[in-house]
Amino acid sequence: MDDDLLDVLIVGAGPTGLVLALELVLRGVRVRIIDKAAGPGTASRAMAVHARTLEFYRRLQLADEVISRGIRVGRVHLRERRVEAARIEIADFGKGLSPYPFVLSFPQDEHEKVLGDRLRREGVEVEWQTELAGLDDDGGRVHATLRSAGGEESVEAAWICGCDGVHSRVRDGMEVGFPGGTYEQSFYVADVEATGVATDGDLNLCLGTDLFCVVFPIRTTGRFRLIGIIPRPLRGKASVTLEDIRPFVEDLVGIRVRKEKWFSTYQVHHRVAAQFHKGRAFLVGDAGHVHSPAGGQGMNTGIGDAVNLAWKLAAVVRGRASEQILDSYEPERIAFARTLVATTDTVFTGVVDPHLRGRFIRRVLIPNVVPRLIRFPFFRRFMFRTLSQIRIHYRDSALASGMAGNVHGGDRLPWVESVDNFAPLRSLGWQLHVYGKARAALAEFARSRALALQEFDWSADAGRAGLARDAAYLIRPDTYVALASATQDVAELQRFIDRFAIVP
């Protein structure tokens, strides 16, 4: 590539684009990140930050700051027409599974500020009021036309990443379909000062016939984020305000709104792009998949996309892996996106269904069955693994091989609390893990390839996590296991690394 050729052009500066840019910059990749908005968002919808995202952030030394600014959710109250139908304790419900065994409430606008500030410290500024006006991929490079207040500019980049949401210009330029649909209900999001039963500092999920509202606490005392469905009587109205929905919300949620900070309405889609990768272009986050807000999965999934793509793209840009490695991005992420969209769609439509099924879910299943199940350790662990996204795996990927203990190639590296085996992952590079003793041949192979070898004393915790004693685990830069070898097979490791021309 030419020395003056931009490595990666990122379109869209939400959390997904910012994380992608930061991961790339920290690996020495030259990026530009643009966004057509006038500046950072204020009317954000995403609030939940899950454990897997915080695990990724620990590598970037951002987790502690994000946690200090957010609120750990201790319990979820399920309400139907003000009345509490169930209370579910979720404080540290993932204890032993992750360093972050909780759900964090943290507004997307403040979240973006943390990411933007860190990116700025790394020498990259978001170029606001700049949009992608044209895109051409000639097979060797991307020719992009950018439009801003200063006019149009032609940019050539080795790669382009669309993090530009539902109406992605990158996706349009790729000529990739976006099949799916749009929910008939419109949504609202509001930041308010309020009092009442649902302003207890916990997460409140308030349900009604064809109604839905979630109340998230915000760190500032007395402020809450409301996300819900616009009531049916208002759906034909050209412009809906908070004053319009106030009586419906106060009746459903059991609060009194004292002051409005901001209010917005929007449509929610359930779609997955036909492709996430085409030529020299990639779709990341909402540009590739969107779904209902059920479970607070959207933003976290987009960040997962960004982490998955960034290390691969950086390795190719810097000549530390073959371009073949990029072919793994789409199959690894699109399968989960399709499952997530189908699952959240089923949950959301079931909960708001005005018919018998919906009433059964709201009045019988949720208040009576879920609280009982959550008392069982197995179900708590299952719920945490699902919501936190730590159960996402890539076992069918070309970048996954072998099995040792209960850990397969493609699995997230299990956390071992007693030795904190996640601490070395801050290197952002490839590494070998052995829980027990590394043989001389393995140690010599690691030295010859400049591959960091982490030896941990064997412990019962490692066994409970599913790891095998004295096995070798090759860990990818995104903290997934690439290869698991029960016998520390050096030849197998070498074949895997050579297959993708990986330079650790």
Looking up residue 492, the CATH number of its domain turns out to be 3.40.30.120
Whole-angstrom distance, CA of residue 470 vs CA of residue 289: 40
Co-location of 21 and 137 in the same domain: yes
| Domain limit, last residue, from 327, 345, 363 | 345
Q: What's the whole-model pTM score?
A: 0.94
Classify residue 144: in a domain, yes or no: yes
Classify residue 303: in a domain, yes or no: yes
| Domain limit, last residue, from 299, 318, 345 | 345
Strand order in the sheet with 401-404: 407-408, 401-404, 481-485, 472-475, 431-435, 452-456
Q: Which residues contact 434 (CB under 8 A, 6 or more apart)?
A: 442, 453, 454, 455, 456, 470, 471, 472, 473, 488
Co-location of 426 and 325 in the same domain: no
Q: Assess whether pLDDT exceeds 60 at residue 1.
A: no
Co-location of 436 and 330 in the same domain: no
Classify residue 423: in a domain, yes or no: yes
Query: In terms of pLDDT, which residue wins out, 363 or 338?
Result: 338
Specify the length of the chain in residues. 504
Classify residue 406: in a domain, yes or no: yes
Q: What percent of the chain clears pLDDT 90, i.e. is strictly above it?
A: 68
Co-location of 28 and 171 in the same domain: yes
Classify residue 60: in a domain, yes or no: yes
Co-location of 407 and 317 in the same domain: no
Q: Assess whether pLDDT exceeds 80 at residue 219.
A: no
Whole-angstrom distance, CA of residue 286 vs CA of residue 284: 7
Classify residue 29: in a domain, yes or no: yes
| Mean pLDDT of the chain, nearest integer | 92
Q: Which residue segment(s) compose the domain that 140 sits in?
A: 6-66+103-179+271-345
Whole-angstrom distance, CA of residue 465 vs CA of residue 223: 40
Co-location of 426 and 493 in the same domain: yes
Co-location of 29 and 136 in the same domain: yes
| Domain limit, last residue, from 323, 345, 367 | 345
Within 10 angstroms of residue 84's Cβ, the number of other Cβ atoms is 15
Co-location of 311 and 451 in the same domain: no
pLDDT tens-digit map of 171-218? 999 999 999 988 888 889 899 998 888 888 888 888 877 778 889 888
pLDDT tens-digit map of 247-279? 988 888 888 998 888 898 888 889 999 999 999
Q: Assess whether pLDDT exceeds 60 at residue 419.
A: yes
Classify residue 78: in a domain, yes or no: no
Task: Work out the pLDDT band at 422, boundaries 50, 70, 90.
Answer: very high
Q: Assess whether pLDDT exceeds 60 at residue 283.
A: yes
DSSP-based three-state secondary structure for 283: strand
The residue-averaged pLDDT of 37-45 equals 78
Residue with tokens 């939400």: 14
Tally of structural domains, the chain: 2
Task: Work out the pLDDT band at 220, boundaries 50, 70, 90.
Answer: low
Co-location of 290 and 413 in the same domain: no
Classify residue 330: in a domain, yes or no: yes
> Domain of 166: which CATH number?
3.50.50.60
Query: In terms of pLDDT, which residue wins out, 447 or 373?
Result: 447
